[in-house]
């Protein structure tokens, strides 16, 4: 592909005063947000009588072997084992509030006092409760990204305020207390209990009201298993995905759909990033629902391919969308020791806010990859065919390079305004169409979206996106760049 004229050819944590208030609590969410001095004090207190070890085994789900490994590592680095434990648990995106709760279950009130200022005041009552975690029994078990489970308490006191994040509370028989409105024996209901401690539950009745009784006027989109509605809850616009059991034809299909919904809960709760759609809550009554931030700009798919768009995306907007999506993907791939692979990157799953800023959505197919991102063989292939590379489709080899490939195809679509697959084209796959253009040295002006004016800036933007896409869609996954490199390439373009 010939470049535009003049373009080279391509082949410290601040300390916080004791007057910290709820107004700035938002700055202190995760364990790594705790200032260094408080972390040192907390670690020193946990070192007393090996309290850190008991905390790790009884409340954080570590094995003795794992804690001994943390101890050895810390000895080599001249650090305290308690500090290593806090850092390790924090690496799985556990929050300060979760730490506060598990400390209460071990009756480590002195430790709780150290971090009290960074926890919502509604949780402070746990320090006063001499029974240890009883006040938070309603929060249910909490599950970290590594699958470690924090044991459930014994039930909330009658005179105790409700927890900050209200779950679907369960009785001793592990049945929903509001069982009359819940789908009996729902696998979704059973598995989502693992996450109920950190994800707000919103009643089905409230969601019905929010969507005006699931009015067709509020439908944002439909899928194979359900429908996404726009709703207004607590004076806030939200997008509500309702899973329709009537559309599920077989028990296997139901299992797959429920598992995808659980995946979304897990990964969206774990991933907090400007370019990932925030999860607001869920409901497991009647038809399970997931509640997200409403994105008024709709999907990138609609912005690119609507029959009568209000106005086409400008080249500047297109590059911003490409950069933001790349940032979100690189975060997914790098924020944890094992990468998270989205598995279904396409314009329909890239949502835009009112300022055309992108956020990645639909995490139903997300899977955790192998360490060092080595390819692993999976049992099934999911995704959208034109965006799936051959090694995944044919050999079921999964790695982050699957997302890289998919993103490359999206870059082609953004640059050309053409769909990834078109039966009417000689080269039905857009990837093949661009590959032939590169081989034949076709000028970029012949490839760029004709709905926009052809100027120097547009030529430059389109050229850089298409060449990045060409690198991302290399047939050999080893030749594809990782998403960090792709992000930097687009940032410099």
Question: Rounded distance, CA 55 to CA 103, Å?
Answer: 8
How far CA 174 is from CA of 102, 106, 150, 416, 447, in Å, comes to: 21, 23, 16, 54, 59
Question: Rounded distance, CA 196 to CA 143, Å?
Answer: 9
Question: Rounded distance, CA 437 to CA 120, Å?
Answer: 58
3 state DSSP class of 274:
coil
Is residue 398 within 8 Å of residue 375, measured between CB atoms?
yes
How far CA 63 is from CA of 55, 56, 439, in Å, comes to: 11, 8, 56
3-state helix, strand, coil in the chain (%, to 5): 45, 10, 40
Entry field: residues in the chain: 493
Going by C-alpha positions, the residue among 344, 341, 295, 339 that lies closest to residue 321 is 295
How far CA 353 is from CA of 90, 150, 356, 358, 476, in Å, comes to: 30, 36, 5, 7, 35
Catalytic residue numbers, as ranges: 344
Computed on alpha carbons and rounded to an integer, the radius of gyration of the chain in Å comes to: 25
Is 242 known as a binding-site position?
Answer: yes
How far CA 276 is from CA of 61, 293, 349, 350, 358, in Å, comes to: 28, 10, 10, 9, 8
How far CA 133 is from CA of 63, 185, 289, in Å, comes to: 21, 28, 30
Going by C-alpha positions, the residue among 153, 98, 107, 97 that lies closest to residue 130 is 107
Upper half-sphere CA count for residue 196 (Cβ side, 13 Å)? 26
Question: Rounded distance, CA 213 to CA 348, Å?
Answer: 26
Burial (CB < 10 A; 0-12, 13-18, 19+), residue 65, is exposed
- The secondary structure of residue 429, as a DSSP letter, is B
Which residues are within 8 A (CB) of 244 and not within 5 positions of it... i.e. 6 or more apart?
225, 226, 227, 287
Which residues are within 8 A (CB) of 221 and not within 5 positions of it... i.e. 6 or more apart?
227, 228, 299
Task: List, as residue ranges, the binding site for ATP.
Answer: 242
């Amino acid at each position: 592909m010939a470049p535009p004229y003049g373009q080279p050819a391509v082949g410290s944590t601040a300390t916080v005063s004791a007057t910290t208030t709820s107004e700035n609590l938002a700055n202190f969410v995760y364990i790594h947000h705790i200032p260094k001095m408080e972390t040192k004090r907390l670690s020193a207190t946990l070192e007393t009588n090996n309290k850190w070890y008991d905390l790790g085994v009884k409340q954080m789900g570590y094995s003795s072997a794992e804690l001994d490994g943390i101890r050895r590592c810390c000895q080599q680095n001249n650090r305290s084992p308690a500090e290593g434990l806090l850092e390790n648990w924090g690496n799985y995106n556990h929050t300060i509030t979760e730490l506060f709760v598990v400390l209460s279950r071990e009756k480590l009130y002195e430790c709780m006092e150290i971090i009290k200022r960074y926890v919502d005041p509604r949780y402070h009552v746990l320090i006063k409760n001499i029974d240890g975690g009883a006040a938070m029994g309603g929060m249910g078990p909490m599950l970290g990204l590594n699958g470690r489970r924090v044991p459930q308490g014994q039930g909330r006191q009658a005179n105790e305020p409700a927890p900050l994040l209200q779950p679907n509370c369960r009785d001793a028989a592990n049945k929903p207390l509001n069982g009359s409105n819940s789908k009996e024996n729902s696998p979704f209901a059973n598995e989502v209990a693992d996450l109920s401690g950190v994800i707000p539950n919103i009643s089905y009745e409230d969601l019905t009201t929010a969507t005006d009784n699931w009015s067709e006027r509020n439908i944002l989109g439909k899928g194979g298993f359900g429908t996404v509605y726009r709703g207004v809850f607590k004076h806030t616009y939200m997008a509500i995905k309702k899973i329709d059991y009537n559309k599920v034809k077989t028990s296997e299909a139901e299992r797959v759909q429920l598992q995808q919904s659980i995946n979304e809960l897990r990964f969206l709760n774990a991933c907090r990033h400007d370019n990932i759609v925030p999860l607001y809550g869920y409901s497991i009554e009647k038809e399970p629902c997931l509640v997200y931030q409403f994105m008024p700009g709709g999907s990138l798919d609609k912005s690119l391919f609507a029959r009568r768009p209000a106005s086409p995306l400008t080249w500047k907007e297109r590059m911003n969308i490409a950069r933001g999506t790349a940032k979100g993907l690189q975060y997914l791939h790098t924020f944890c020791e094992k990468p998270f692979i989205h598995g279904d990157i396409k314009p329909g799953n890239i949502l835009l806010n009112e300022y055309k800023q992108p956020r990645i959505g639909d995490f139903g197919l997300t899977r955790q990859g192998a360490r060092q991102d080595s390819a692993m063989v999976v049992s099934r292939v999911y995704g959208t065919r034109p965006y799936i590379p051959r090694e995944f489709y044919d050999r079921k080899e999964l790695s982050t390079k699957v997302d890289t490939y998919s993103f490359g195809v999206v870059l082609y679509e953004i640059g050309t305004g053409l769909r990834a697959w078109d039966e009417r084209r000689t080269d039905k796959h857009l990837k093949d169409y661009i590959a032939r253009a590169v081989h034949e040295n076709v000028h970029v002006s012949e490839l760029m979206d004709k709905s926009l004016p052809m100027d120097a800036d547009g030529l430059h933007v389109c050229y850089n996106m298409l060449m990045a896409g060409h690198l991302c869609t290399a047939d050999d996954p080893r030749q594809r760049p990782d998403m960090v490199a792709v992000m930097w390439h687009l940032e410099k373009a």
